[in-house]
Amino acid sequence: MQSSLKKGLPVEIHMETILYQNGEVNHHQYTESGRLVEMNGSYYVRYEETHEDGNVPVTVKMEADGVVTVIRRGEWMTRLRFDVDQSTGTHYHTPMGVLPIRIDTQDVRISYYDQPFSGRVQVDYTLNMGDQKLGEYHLRLRFTT
């Protein structure tokens, strides 16, 4: 299986995000086909989220030390690094300009299963701009080869 993962395997992906912001809850779900690759001790899940105005390429990197990075490359480009041991920063690229964002990760859980190889990723975090809390987020990813 390991040599197959270095070349990449097709996966079915279910990504769910829940956002709590200003007393409102926004819930987004995506079920897509993608690819799982193992490189340098990390797993990468790559897929495209289907939106009304086009597809957004997404990469989720799961490192052996429990750090998760999510990269979205669309009109609103983001690179979010989730590390429970420290706050991380990023620049949120929007059509209106670039915004500096701080990510405070409360929880990261990664689980892998055999036959078929699959995994689950759970991340709970807040996004902040300066002293202002932008929202609380829950990210849930499931993938199956």
Containing structural domain, residue 100:
2-144
What does the pLDDT average to over 3-28? 89
**Quick one: tokens of 9?**
């395997």
User: For position 36, what pLDDT does the model report?
Assistant: 96
pLDDT at 3 over 80: no
> CATH number of the domain that 35 lies in?
2.40.128.20
- Give the number of other Cβ atoms within 10 Å of residue 45's Cβ: 21
pLDDT per position as a tens digit, 21-66: 989 999 999 999 999 999 999 999 999 988 787 888 999 999 999 9
User: For 102-140, b where at least 16 C-beta lie within 10 A, e where not — what string?
Assistant: bbbbeebebeeeeeebbbebbbbbbbbeeeeebebbbbb
d(CA 70, CA 7): 21
Residue 42 pLDDT = 95
Q: What distance in Å separates the CA atoms of residue 106 and residue 64, rounded to the nearest whole number?
A: 18
The total number of structural domains in the chain stands at 1
Nearest to 86 by CA among 100, 67, 101: 67
Mean pLDDT, residues 95-120 taken together: 92
Spatial distance between the Cα atoms of 16 and 32, rounded to a whole number of angstroms: 11
What does pTM read for this prediction?
Answer: 0.90
Look-up of token digits 């030390």: 65
Q: What is the pLDDT of residues 59-105, one digit of tens each?
A: 999 999 999 999 998 777 789 999 999 999 998 877 778 889 999 99
Residue predicted with more confidence, 4 or 49: 49
* 4 against 86, higher pLDDT: 86
What per-residue confidence (pLDDT) applies to 8? 87
Residue 81 has what DSSP assignment? E
What is the structure's pLDDT at 51? 79
